[in-house]
Structure 1
Amino acid sequence: MSRKIKTTTVRDKKNKIFQLPKNLPISYLLVIPFVLEIFAVVGIVGYFSFRNGQQAVNKLATQLQTEVSERVTLHLDNYLATAKHITQINARAIELGLIDLNDYQTSGRYFWHQIQTYQNVGYIDYILPTGEYVGAGRWLEGRGVTIDEISARTNWNSYTYTTDPHGNRTEMVYESDYAPLEETWYQETVKAKKPIWNQVYAWEDFPDILSVATSFPVYNSDSSLIAIAGVDLQLKGFSSFLRNLEVSPSTKIFVIEPNGLIIADSSKEPPYKFENGEAQRLKVFASQDRLIQATAKQLQQQFGSFERIDREQRLVFDLDGKKQFAKVTPWQDELGLDWLVVVAMSESDFMAEINANSRTTIFLCLAALIMAIILGLKTASWITKPIHRLNDASSAIAKGDLEQTIEIRGVKELNILAGSFNQMASQLKISFAKLDRINQELEHRVEERTVEFLKAKKTAETASRAKSEFLSNMSHELRTPLNGILGYAQILQRDRSLTSQQIRGINVIYSSGNHLLTLINDILDISKIEAGKLELFNTDIELEPFFAGLEDIVRMRAIEKNISFASQAVTPLPTGIIADEKRLRQVLLNLLSNAIKFTDTGEVILKVSASYATATEESNLQTFRFEVVDTGIGMNPQQLDKIFHAFEQVGDLQRQQEGTGLGLAISKQLVELMGGKLQVSSESGKGSTFWFEVVFPVIEMKNRKAIERQNRQIVGYQEDSKHILIVDDREENRLVLQNMLEPLGFKITLAKDGQQEVDLALKTKPDCILTDLMMPVKSGFEAVKEIRRFDSFKDVVIIAISASVSDAERRQSRSFGCDDFLPKPVEEVKLLAALQKYLQLTWIYETKASLQNESVVTEAVSLKAPPPEEMEKLYELAMLGSMKKIKEQAMYLEELDQKYAPLAAKLKNLANGFQEKAIVNLIEQFL
């Protein structure tokens, strides 16, 4: 009894927890939870769908802004490049004398033809320091392109002429007292002494036309100003481009200066307004476009001023209760322009369809609720009818009607269904519990893998930085002793009192040091390539001396192996190109050196051809094809597969020991950086051909007189004595530079750190400072920056000499005030060339008479000279110190003609005695 009472009590307590209201219809119990569940699920789905839509819109707006900004900046680069290109062409033509500055008729007609080609160019001109002026442009309404002139012939007034369809002047239609020398753009260009952009301005008579002008000063050889070439570029074409960009209905794109003045925008509003009867350029805050104005105010509010925006920025703000997205991108170019590109767009442009979908979702939710209520009520009736019959039967039995026959249709099915449902629910609960555990385990594994990945990435980045720092430090440490080795080797090579054996020893030292330096440079280059930091630095290259220098280096190597070397221009070549001279020479030398290395007999040929990269010859781009053909040992297919891999070498063991295995790998990357592809074809035993094609801009260069090969040394200079301050914390580096320069007549002062550099510079006022950059007490960077602050030292030549050869340090040295940068080890030729350039020196060379002994001169008079090409070969062999090949060449001269026998006998006699200097002196008599 007590057990039953206890059980009933516990059961009552449990039932109270889930107690339902009295007399609750079962239809409600079935319908209401079902309807609430559907409402909750549909609502949650609709909410997250709306949120996901908003996030997608934000992402889309960001991507769209980035794409539009990139298109605008790219078009801006191309648009402004027209003016810079025309100015550069005209300045180059003035330098080359192609434009006669005193022939105003021809110059004006030339500008007239130029401006016909470029619709967005408003004016092209040049002005002389004397006030003469010639220009052509579209500024006189209804007159087309006119030509302006200021000269003595025009009484120093500005005459404007109309023109015929051929650019010839027809009549003078306008006269003014325009004084270009008083213009701000002229004075700014003279002061800058380099090409610059002038301020954006509105045309006086046509304020809706904005223009920006670029000016290019042209100097003669003594740095005197000849003329200033200029081009005015109209900006209305760029505004049209902005208006034609199809982004979204309310998107606004505008370009402004840091002072807030509008350059161009995508609205149709004119870029000016009238104040006191005068047209003034429109500031962005005064724009009638509300989105442009609101975006500008938000930028000013967030950053204080436009001038503080130095990198890409994004912001989100509300306008009229609608969210707006804006992106501002700073744009600059090398001539001084500093503009901001702003893209602003409204969220509503992208949310319209999402809002429509939301309304559809709400309507579907309501429809689903109504259908759920109807179906719920119908289902409740199907279920309650059997229950009612069961209740009636139960009531009858409770009243004592035991004879009742209970027939309830569907009761068994309901019980089975309930049992099945409970069983299914139980299984589902177990399944979901297992799934939840699996998800937690997966999330845990993902977190662990993510942590491992981040650790591995951090380790790799640390290792990469350590590798770069190690290579940089090792390069610095190795270049410092190499500077002493190669420096003193170059100094000793100038000593005419050395014996042949001593000279050969010094040459071995210099050659070995250069080999080590090449290895260091190759390792640094491959490291830069792997890090993606290798860049090209293009300069003007005169092709004739470029190939001549290349041939001199390669021919000597070919002579050493007794093989033939030839350089062929397959097609006529231009006088000059624009390319990275150092890297192009590096690629060709690598290919030629490899060809000679793997060729024992036969020949090595360098073939060069050029063709126009476009359909017309008016383009300045040409495709150059370089081929290196040899008759060497060749390669099999297996070797061809790996020759371009770093540290991979083919061929026999002896040849592998001659190199590093980096040359072809670096050459391949350099060619690809130039826009080409290095290719090879080879057959074992029949030689190899390496070739590549690249496109270079072609330029016309003045023909320089070929540098005559001479074995003469610089012994001084004609100008007054120059004072040079040498600064380096290593004594051996200071002594190398001192011993290189002091014998030439330079006055030398030495300093061992940056502080001494500043003190001695102020005290001695040198003509030139040669300074290391990394020093104790005060670095070279700090010293140069401090020295440049003094007005009296603004024009003093400062050349950085550093064992660090990174591009960043080169640029940094120039930004701190250095005029040039020379890497260690210092090459005497480059050092003297830099001093000659910046100090305007005229070298004094040792005379040939000082190199010759009288007996050789007297004897040479009676000897018969062979053809010049044979003497050239002898000269090269003598410079290489190859006594064996000199004797072989002498025997060949005897066989060629008996009249050369005396000379051949003399050469063999001198070669047997290893009298290298005497051989050189003898041969020079016939050159």
Structure 2
Amino acid sequence: MARSKPSLAAKLSRTTGLQLVLVAGSLSALSFSLGRNSGFQQIEAHRATVPVVRVAEQLSRKLSYPTIINDLNVAAVSADPNLLNDFDRLSHRFWRQLKSFPVDYINYGSTDGSFLGIEKLSPDRFAHNEDSQRFGRGTMQVYSMDANGQRLAKTDAIPGMSTSHEEAWYVDTVKAGQPSWSSIYAWEDQPDVFSISYNAPIYNKSNKLLGVVGVDMVINQLSTWLQDTWENQQGLALIVEANGDLVASSQANTLLIGKGDQPQRANLKDITLPLATELHTQFREANIATQQGAKQSLNNTSPRVIELDDQHYLINSTPWGDNYGLTWHLLTAIPADEEWRASELILYLSVITSLAAIGLALAINRRLIKGILTPLTALTSASKSTEVQIEEEAQKREFATPVSYACTLPASSTEEIAGLNKAIQALVQAFNRLTQTLREKDERELKDISQKLKISLEAAAIGHEINQPLSIVRLTAQSLLNTLKRQDPGQSSPALNEGLTTLNAQTERIATITEKMRSLLRNAQTNLGPVDLQQVIDNSIRYVRSNHRNGNWIATHASNTSPGVQPVIEGDAVQLQVALINLLKNGLDALAGQTRSENAPPPSVKITLNEQDAQWTIDVDDNGPGLSQDLLGSMPLSTSKPDGSGLGLFIVRTAVESHQGELTLTTNAWGGLKARINLPKSRT
């Protein structure tokens, strides 16, 4: 007893169940680890974000003071334009603002190069700096100030000042044409002091620039502020620009100002502190993410864990200052909880286990797919072989050879695939039975057509045979009558004249009867309906190939028609098929009776369907001896066969004319006969 094949459903159920167990188990373990790790991440991320938020908020508050001061000064000048011409009044105003706000320097520069700046040296000490016409241009005069903000004695004079303002605070503001933060720059009179300033251009009522008023924040003072803000926090906090130059540091021993021939600010990459090195790496990665359009906001920063001297740190890089036009970054390094590391180790183990389980599930799935695809591939190959056979038979336009199908399935095939194989075998067998039935039907129909036409053709042949001698008798009688009419009436015989007249009348009667018989035969068999010329050609070729000893000389026909246009006319398919069969047989008979040289091409009869403007053209060409010009001119009541009567061409012409068509005989390019049938297209 043959062992039954397993079902595809059972096979899929077993393998799918095993895969689900593996994947679900591994994903459950991974989900638990991820959840546990995510909890630690959220806790640590929150702990790392709190000081960043605090620093960012306080920094925003600190940088809001310059905007308030500038707004007040611009409003004051707008209310009293003469204030800019009285540097003592302006100096006292700046002094009061320095006493009230935590800023380091307030200044004004006019378009003629004059400058006034009030500097906070300490909470109770201020300096008046002025480069103007009243004290002589080109030298910065420095004065002390009393407790009421009045200018006292001169304490210093710094020569070599430029005649125009070239520092960033002035140039950047004039270029922007609106209040803005400058880049960090060194003071002209104190090159070792770096600051950033918020400046506003001042215009008169005619929109003419009068000068720039600004508020400076010294970098050293900003670093002192950050140290105070970070006082109770371990780790390290840095504020850097986009290029890595330091703005502030929470460690006092961090070098902010480079020492050398020309003072310059230190860059993040130059700091040797281990935490600063790690922060530099995080900063560089954050810059790359920003360039790729993945810029992080303050609320979704993702800290990275590092290990340094047996201590874990959460390091983070947060962009800051976009709303001020600044591209600063807050870099922080905060000690992390040890449970973070333990949770990460568990997560790594869970990931490895999950990947191994998924890999095993994929291997099982691949084996299952292979087991399904192998028999399907065999079915596909066998089906393609059968398809090729069908296409070859279709090109021949005959299905004389039954189509075969054979497929050997592997032993591992499921019952569904085996059933599919049997279904394909049954389909091929049904196709063979159908083609055999159609072939037998065509043969029966052609046989019936031949039988029905036999009597009509015999009658047409009789009429043709009668007309040939009858025409001679008729012409002779008419000639004799004409001769008698030219003779003297006295010499002519009345009896002879009467006899010839009777003979001529009777021949005309016989010709009329014969023509009526031909007309009857021509119209009686016409059953009009839609006729596919392509199908008529195929049926005619199939019939001649099957019933003529030289039927294999007929080449595959060609069609030259417009895409999407069907060669269908209104007519009688039987009459047209009989006409084509006669033309094909005439061509084959002409080739069979020809003696061909060894180098001559093989005998061939070709039929072509062409589309023209208002008609369809069917050409039947052979490479036989053709017809002489005399025979071509006497068509169609002529023949080139020794025992022929020309009746075949008569039948063709009769069928074509009954369809309002035309038959022409010419010599083709091969030297053989071209028989062309022109049929009008159906009116739509």
Q: Check whether TM > 0.5.
A: no
Structure with more contact order per residue of length (Cα contacts < 8 Å, sep ≥ 6): 2
Q: TM-score scaled by structure 1?
A: 0.30
